[in-house]
Chains A and B, each alone.
Chain A
Amino acid sequence: MISNNNILNKMELKFSALSINESFARASVSGFCLQLNPSLDELTDIKTAVSEAVTNSIVHAYPNESGEILINVTLCKNQATIEIIDFGVGIKNLEEAKKPFFTTKPDQERSGMGFTVMESFMDKVEVFNNKEGGLKVVLIKNIKEQSVKKVADEII
């Protein structure tokens, strides 16, 4: 858990689980994380991991109904914590789902690499089935301190 004292800023975002919202979701989260002064690489890592988690919820969470996705972002010094939550069917076997190339929809040309990409682009990834139903993915990204002084020194 993040201690309240360390929180610099937070936001939440709720939207319909529609694929048209994917670019909106990743752009919004990465835009908010800009406050931590990340490098372009770190920012693209966040964008990609968010896109993976949101895509999972859009594709798998609501097979028979429309639903919503909630994103909570918490910024601490040098760290962004991003929760992607849906209220759908969850994942029966989480360990299996996290394996590379595992997909329940091979006929749809799906790579099954979503969790693998999240894990390799983030510093920490946690996945839970919510008690009340649905899935919660927690992505944690450490943002390296950009040494302004060092850059300034180099210029001088």
Chain B
Amino acid sequence: MEIKYRNYNNILYVMLDGELDEHTAKFTSKKLDEIFFSTISKQIIIDLSQMKFMDSTGIGVLIGRYKKMKDRGVSIFISNPSYHAEKIFKLTGLYEIMPKIS
């Protein structure tokens, strides 16, 4: 999993490039926390256009980050999910806490 990010106008853009499963979940969570906590922004956009695979482990990772950022008043949005990632997001109701933006 490769994670790229940039902070622009107080919006943090994060791009996940790779496969998000049990094997990569710990690293991804840790890396996202490092980026989120070292950046001052009120909004975070997670771009999933380069994510090659995700299973429900990814939901655990995303909800975990949501809980941590919620306490700091930061909103997280999802952008460019694959057809299958979207299927899992709709099944789990993730968009209710992390809305999808285009």
Contact = CB atoms under 8 A, between A and B. Distances in A.
Interface of A: 19-20, 22-23, 26, 41, 44-45, 47-48, 51-52, 55, 58-59, 100, 108-111, 113-114, 116-117, 120-121
Contacts, number: 66
Interface of B: 19, 21-23, 25, 29, 53, 55-57, 59-61, 63-64, 83-84, 87-88, 91-92
Contact of B56 (A23, A58, A114): A114
Contacts of A48: 53, 55, 84, 88
A55 B61 contact: no
A45 B88 CA distance: 11
8 contacts: A22-B22, A41-B84, A51-B21, A52-B56, A55-B57, A58-B22, A111-B63, A120-B87
A117 B22 contact: no
